[in-house]
Amino acid sequence: MTARRGYPAVDRFRVAAALLVVCIHTAPLASFSAAADFALKTLARLAVPFFFTATGFFLLGELVRPGLRPRTLSPGVRRFLKKTGVLYAACTVLYLPVTLYAGNFPVENVLGELVRDAVLDGTFYHLWYLPAALLGVLVVCGLLRFLRPGAAAGVCGALYLAGLLGDSWYGLAKQLPALKEGYDALFGVMDYTRNGLFFAPAFLMLGALLAGFPARRRPRACLAGLGCSLALLFAEAFGLRALGWPRHDSMYLALVPCACFLFLCLLVPRGGDAPFLREFSMLVYVLHPMAIVGVRGAARVLHAREWLVENSLAHFAAVAAASCAAAWLLARLSQRRRWDGRSGTAPKPDLRRARAWAEVDLEAVARNAGALQGCMPAGCRLMAVVKADAYGHGAPAVAGRLWQAGVRAFAVATPEEGAQLRRCGITGEILVLGYADAARIRELRRWRLCQTVTDPAHARALARAAGRRPLPVHIAVDTGMHRLGTDAGAAPAVAEMLRLPGLEVRGLFTHLAVADSPAPEDAAFTRTQLDAFEALARKLRGAGYTLPPLHAQASCGILNQPQPDCGYARPGIALYGALSTAGCAARLHPVLAPALALRARVVSVRRVPPGEGAGYGLAFRARRSTRLAVVAIGYADGWPRAAGEGRGHVLLHGRRAPVVGRVCMDQLLVDATDTGAAVGDVATLIGADGPERITAEEAAEAAGTIANELLCRIGPRVPRVYLR
């Protein structure tokens, strides 16, 4: 699978690649040296292979997992095809006036020419990339449906070689009459072989392989490989140019290793991703021909053709500046208005009218994931637990942001929760941690979910229902919690499940019962659990079984316990910057930032004289002249009734105010005498207000529960406001 955190260098290089494409179409050095301009153009030929490799890495990487045969297009692929198709249609309409003005609109065989251009050559000279991406993704997905990744890569490589002979190596094909006739016939159907049939599949497949079979990144080796392959690229380009062989110069043999080593170099830096740069770079690519037209028009109006057009470097600078300015403006406008279909983040509700709301900082979730990943040993991947609507934070939004940060495995409680993530475009591994009956196997297959196997009887029932097409599962092992799972001492029972032909076992896991406790006896019990789990793994390996990835550690296990040799770790509550209780000790201390703040509106303030009662049962009695504030949130919104009667607090104007009386269904009462609260003010129940902060752990302790329950109880009528 792809890696756990974002790849900022990939996002930044997208901008450089877009500018390299501008170089191809403006020839910046042509006024000074034809050889230098050709060298720059040759280097710029890396841009489009980079774009295709990035698409393959992030979109198709999961398809090359061993044993996987995707029978349908994943939601992520379908979303990509839809989004790219809409973009292509919009660009076609945008450039139609320019096409008509240039006289490039076909007058004979209009329908055939339009279909050919739309599918293969592009409806404008730079738009060929979009149909190539669409067709290339379909070709690679089709190959991976019927072939193993290695064989599919071989087919893509053969297609690339065939396209190569019709591009920069065309002079070689011309020397063979039969081959020349074949290519001449081919060019009656398409203008170039740099399309989604010959060019795109090779680099899409390359990106998928780099994601599906990640190796340890060695920066020096990657840089050395990039340097050598660039030298080969320049030698090949200049050599073929001297021979006069190229029909076009989009495809070279050395482009493949160049793209491979370049992408490996860009994978080395880790950190947050930059979605704005992705959109910005695509807009630069799309808009730069329009900028060329605009710069030439401005040069004519300003009588500055000598400087803005004939001076190639100034022409490039003007086109690049105009393209970047327009792209930046449109990308900013798009970010403000866009409904993010993957993350599920809707436009912010009007907080001036909201009675209560929860603010969720998705960047804090991503940073927490990176910090937790840093606590794990090398080779251990993060499986983000997003069950119970991501602990009340909103599963589609959280999973979407974690996907952008590089997380490729998620855990939910029910098939319904897994289906929700798939519908929002989340791909990768989704494990259902809870029990699901074998009768639900069609649902599990439809949404490509991994199911937890709880015991041998459950395993046999799932295997019978699966038939000849194995169902992906993880086997739960009971090491002392005595909830779900097969006893760790029953190695033969686990071995039986590993052998069942109807199951594809992708994981083996256990759950720790007291990993959140610092008490010596609890730490010893946790160690006993881990020892039992590791002993089972040793027995199975000794019996000749090749085990799938193991996982045992949840949030407190990651923070408090030594890390076993596992393939996954399953953080839940810690992803959201909280722990189950305020006293949960942590052997390791990553910087975890709370991701959620819960706020509600003050809707009434009244004076209550001494001795007066208020609320249900008159549970509050004023001991002094009291200003009671009514806050519009109650137990129907998920705020615990047990947090009333002076046990809980809210923040008003940066000061603590106790919750008095009984919490009602839709409101609660606050003693606001010392805060100067007024109608319309905002009360903070979880989060910061000025110098004060109420953590989820503190609020949960006041209600006699844990932060997990408190956050999960925040109801659906409390809108989530996502901060990006």
Instruction: Choose between 267 and 666: higher pLDDT.
Output: 666
The verdict on whether residue 282 carries a ligand-binding annotation is no
pLDDT of 555 higher than 90: no
Domains identified in the chain and CATH numbers: 9-44+274-338 (no CATH), 48-272 (no CATH), 356-576 (3.20.20.10), 596-694 (2.40.37.10)
Q: Which of 82, 83, 101, 616 is catalytic?
A: 616
Q: 194-203, 512-521, 580-589, 640-649 — which is least confidently predicted? A: 580-589
CB 399 within 8 A of CB 421: yes
pLDDT of 70 higher than 80: no
Q: How confident is the model at residue 79 (pLDDT cuts 50, 70, 90)?
A: confident
Most confident residue range from 62-71, 371-380, 505-514, 575-584: 505-514
- Per-residue pLDDT at 30: 94
Q: 70-79, 305-314, 428-437, 571-580 — which is least confidently predicted? A: 70-79
- Per-residue pLDDT at 105: 57
Tokens 């040799």 sit on residue: 565
The verdict on whether residue 483 carries a ligand-binding annotation is yes
CB 287 within 8 A of CB 7: no
pLDDT per position as a tens digit, 639-696? 999 999 999 999 999 999 999 999 999 999 999 999 989 999 999 999 999 899 999 9
Enclosing H/E stretch for 410: strand 409-412
- Per-residue pLDDT at 99: 77
Q: Which of 285, 387, 576, 635 is catalytic?
A: 387
- Give dist(CA 96, CA 92) in Å, integer: 6
Tell me the whole-structure pTM to 2 decimals: 0.60
- Render 332-352 in DSSP notation, one character per residue: HHHHHH--BTTTTBPPPP-TT
pLDDT of 97 higher than 90: no
387 catalytic, yes or no?
yes
- Per-residue pLDDT at 351: 67
- Per-residue pLDDT at 110: 56
- Per-residue pLDDT at 189: 86
- Give 120's Cβ-side CA count (13 Å radius): 16
Instruction: Choose between 114 and 698: higher pLDDT.
Output: 698
pLDDT of 565 higher than 90: no
Fill in the amino acid letter for 383: M
- Render 132-174 in DSSP notation, one character per residue: HHHHHHHHHHHHHHHS-HHHHHHHHHHHHHHHHTTTTTHHHHH
616 catalytic, yes or no?
yes
How many other C-beta atoms can be found within 10 angstroms of the C-beta atom of residue 526?
25
